[in-house]
């Protein structure tokens, strides 16, 4: 096996182990045993568990980021929201291990994590919501607030669906889009709470 092939093998094994056991539960010994190599081979390629984990996280983030970016490239704003929601749920469905690693095991201080990806999504959503708010005579300075709510709703629902897997992906996506789109389309310029405080 070439060095490059060994590296890819260790990345695949690490990805599987991190998804199954979490970062804390995965050891260099475990990964070396699964690969049929000695611990020094893992250290040689990655410097340790943290290095391998960083490579796995980076690859997962790049894959998900590409899916979401492509989903947001064209179409009406509603179509972009639909495409982004379906892209995220498809990633959850088809790359479950990767999504598990991203949402359940991000370590504090990671420079690239699921939360950084969500922040990127919030920035993109803030931009298109800001434009829409201006067109509708709404306060565009509040667009980041709505972007946080929209992205948070999608991300939390995806995490819930990771475990539930019902209803079907298309049904979940349709309901997320229904709530976000119809909620956004009926926004009041100056909303007020209805109850007595």
The mean pLDDT of the chain is 89
Is pLDDT at 109 greater than 60 in this prediction? no
- 196 within some domain: no
pLDDT of residue 44: 96
The band of 192, judged by pLDDT with boundaries at 50, 70 and 90, is: confident
Share of residues in the chain with pLDDT > 70 (%): 94
- 146 within some domain: yes
- 39 within some domain: no
Ordered DSSP codes for 90-142: HHHHH-HHHHHHHHH-PPTT-SS-HHHHHHHHHHHHHHHHHHHHHHHT--GGG
- 190 within some domain: no
> Interior CA angle at 135 toward 190 and 78, to 5°?
95
Is pLDDT at 180 greater than 90 in this prediction? no
Q: What's the domain range around 155?
A: 57-185
Domain tally for the chain?
Answer: 1
pLDDT of residue 105: 63
Domain CATH number, residue 77: 1.10.357.10
Any residues with CB less than 8 A from the CB of 192 and at least 6 apart, and which?
Answer: none
pLDDT of residue 26: 94
- 10 within some domain: no
In this predicted model, what pLDDT tens digit does every residue of 24-76 receive, in sequence order? 999 999 999 999 999 999 999 999 999 999 999 999 989 988 998 898 888 98
């Amino acid at each position: 096996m070439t060095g490059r092939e060994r590296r890819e093998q260790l990345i695949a094994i690490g990805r599987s182990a991190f998804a199954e056991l979490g970062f804390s539960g995965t050891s260099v010994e475990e990964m070396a045993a699964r690969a049929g190599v000695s611990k020094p081979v893992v250290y040689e390629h990655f410097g340790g568990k943290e290095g391998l984990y960083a490579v796995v996280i980076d690859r997962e983030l790049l894959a998900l980021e590409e899916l979401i970016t492509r989903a947001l490239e064209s179409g009406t704003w509603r179509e972009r929201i639909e495409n982004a929601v379906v892209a995220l749920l498809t990633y959850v469905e088809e790359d479950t291990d990767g999504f598990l690693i991203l949402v359940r095991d991000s370590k504090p201080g990671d420079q690239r994590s699921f939360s950084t990806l969500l922040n990127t999504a919030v920035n993109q959503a803030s931009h298109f919501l800001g434009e829409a708010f201006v067109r509708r005579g709404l306060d565009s300075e509040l667009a980041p607030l709505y972007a946080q709510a929209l992205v948070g709703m999608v991300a939390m629902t995806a995490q819930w669906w990771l475990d539930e897997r019902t209803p079907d992906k298309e049904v979940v996506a349709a309901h997320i889009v229904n709530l976000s789109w119809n909620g956004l389309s009926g926004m009041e310029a100056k909303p007020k709470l209805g109850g007595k405080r």
